[in-house]
Structure 1
Amino acid sequence: MLVASVQAAEPVSNAVKNQVADSMSYVDKLINFFIDRGPSLIVAVLIYIVGLYIARFIRDVAMRMMRRANYDHTVVSFVSQIIYYGVLAIVLLTALNSAGFPTTSLLAAFGALGLAIGLSLQSNLSNFASGLLILIFKPFKAGDVITVGSVTGTVRSIQFMNTTIVTKEMRTVFIPNSMLTSQQVTNATYQDTRVVPFVFDIGYDNDHHKAIDVIREVMENDERIVNREMVEIGISEFGDNSVRIAAYPVVENRNYMQVFYDTMSSVKDSFDEENIDIPYPQRVVHIQRSGLDENAKPLSDMSQYVK
């Protein structure tokens, strides 16, 4: 029995010895790994820690610069985050490369993934990039009155994919940002002041000098007009039915529409007081009597035939 017990214990002891030997081998390998790669790992950790502070520093500097340049809060927040994570990605790749990890295949995989995403979201990325350009270079901002194609309205908000415009009829129009960077955009409120173009029609029988003096007097009495002492006024065209007088007063943006309405009303009242006619379209019709029946009656009253 003793011999059998000893023989049975021998395989167990051998298995324990093998496990201990394997464990010691793993420990030796781990120790050798840290000995061989320890300095590289320490350098990688230091690179990551230092790079983290550098990324935060660059982000803060970019935020301060954009705030001093009066960029929109959305731009400051979004661009600063892009800068931060971009620098952090470079730091992480540098740390992994210092630790001995192969980064070439990783970069290739990310590049292929980025290409696939870019091809599938090409139009959206175009709108996104255009929105970023609008927010950075600010050709217009929220509250400006712009014209894009046949749409004119006030910019309510600038998103990364589209821009929201509210028209005078209170219709909300969503325009993709790529359209705003690929065609002409007219910003009526980009400048502090704005010219109100007027054209007044008077009859050919009226004294145009008197009409010009009346228009000039109306504008000189309006303190909202910046150049009221030297408004540009003169005959712009000899039309089919009228003499056309143009005037170009300069007003602040906030007074544009009210000055337009008030001036039109005041000029109409002044023209009425001075008996200056504002003609309506007319057409002269000549009727030649030829080849008519001898028994036909003459047309004594042409008003019933010509309207």
Structure 2
Amino acid sequence: MEITPEMVDSLIAQGIDLVWLIIPKLIYAALFYLVGRFIIGKILKGFNRVLEKRDKNPSLNDFLSGVVKAALYVSLFIGIATVLGVPLTSFVAILGAAGLAIGLSLQGSLSNFAGGVLILVFKPFKSGDVIVAQGHTGVVKQIGIIYTRMTTFDNKEIIIPNGGLANSDVVNMSTQETRRADLTVGVAYGTNIKVARETILDIFKNDKRVHQDPEPVVFLNNFGDSSLDLVVRAWTDAGDLWPVYFDTMEAINTAFEEKGIEIPFPQRVVHQGKD
């Protein structure tokens, strides 16, 4: 096919018309982006201020802010695509197909994501709480959208996926102001239970950390193989639970030694018969 000067002139004219058609759309799209980005910034600042006043949970606030930011920018880019002449139905179809592909490839992560959302919204625990979960006991350091980080009392960091955490039992040991210290003390058979009980209760009376309402109690709980087992229960502030527990165990041992109350060790009596 021979290219004639008329054909070249026609192509140039069409090209110029196309450029004049595209350039305004690009300019409008750029202006739309700049204005939209400015507006999004203002909206996010206002939204973050509202979140800070309403809720002091940084993890939840970061998550909600991220969701709103993502939604606003998706809306912005849909608007830009519309300005450039991209059919909205095609654009939405592409986003839907991409979302489906991502969802299928990240099923496990989406489960953790959903668990993180549930934890942040319903707040079964918060940062700083002591919890027992997934076989671990420790202090919650950070609640992320995918993982929760906690530190055990021997300073090990535990990272737990939120999917399992949201769908299992969690014991929150920090929600109540008071806790009950439960001790089991064994005394030798033949011990005067009344004396042993009064000895233990005297220890609690002299410990200001122990609440007297409800009063501490001491019960004979079991006839063990080598001892009479006493159950000791006393209420205290949550922060004093373990100091009271360990101090009381040591005080009981000292008081029993002074009064001659024996704390037995396992023993077995063997009777030998005559042939």
So what's the TM-score if we normalise by structure 1? 0.70
Q: In the alignment, residue 193 of structure 1 is paired with which amino acid?
A: T
Verify: 1:178 aligned to 2:171, yes or no: no
Instruction: Give the aligned partner of residue 185 of structure 2.
Output: 200
Distance in 2 between the 1:100 and 1:247 partners? Answer: 78
TM-fit CA distance, 1:219: 0.9
Instruction: Give the aligned partner of residue 64 of structure 1.
Output: 50
Runs of 5+ unmatched residues, structure 1:
1-10, 291-307
Deviations 1:13-55 (A, max 9, x none): x799x66x947x949x96xxx9xx9xxx9xxx99x96998589
Distance in 1 between the 2:129 and 2:227 partners? Answer: 36
Distance in 2 between the 1:287 and 1:67 partners? Answer: 79
Q: In the alignment, residue 139 of structure 1 is paired with which amino acid?
A: P
Instruction: Give the aligned partner of residue 138 of structure 1.
Output: 123
TM-fit CA distance, 1:280: 1.6
Instruction: Give the aligned partner of residue 264 of structure 1.
Output: 249
TM-fit CA distance, 1:289: 3.2
Q: Is contact 1:158–1:164 with CA below 8 Å preserved after alignment? A: yes
Q: In the alignment, residue 68 of structure 1 is paired with which amino acid?
A: R
**Match for 1:283 among 251, 268, 273?**
268
Runs of 5+ unmatched residues, structure 2:
none
**Match for 1:76 among 61, 68, 80?**
61
TM-fit CA distance, 1:141: 2.7
SS in 2 for 1:250: strand
Pick which of 163-172 and 96-105 moved more. 96-105
**1:112–1:59 Cα change, 3 Å:** farther
Deviations 1:186-244 (A, max 9, x none): 22223222211111112231111121111111112111123466123322223232222
Distance in 2 between the 1:269 and 1:124 partners? Answer: 55
Distance in 1 between the 2:131 and 2:165 partners? Answer: 11
TM-fit CA distance, 1:273: 1.8
Q: In the alignment, residue 108 of structure 1 is paired with which amino acid?
A: A
Query: Structure with the greater relative contact order (CA < 8 A, sep ≥ 6): 1 or 2?
Result: 2
**1:50–1:22 Cα change, 3 Å:** closer
Instruction: Give the greater-gyration-radius structure (CA).
Output: 1
Distance in 2 between the 1:74 and 1:286 partners? Answer: 67
Q: Is contact 1:219–1:228 with CA below 8 Å preserved after alignment? A: no
Q: In the alignment, residue 136 of structure 2 is paired with which amino acid?
A: V
**1:78–1:150 Cα change, 3 Å:** closer
So what's the TM-score if we normalise by structure 2? 0.77
Q: CA RMSD in A?
A: 3.7
Instruction: Give the aligned partner of residue 294 of structure 1.
Output: none
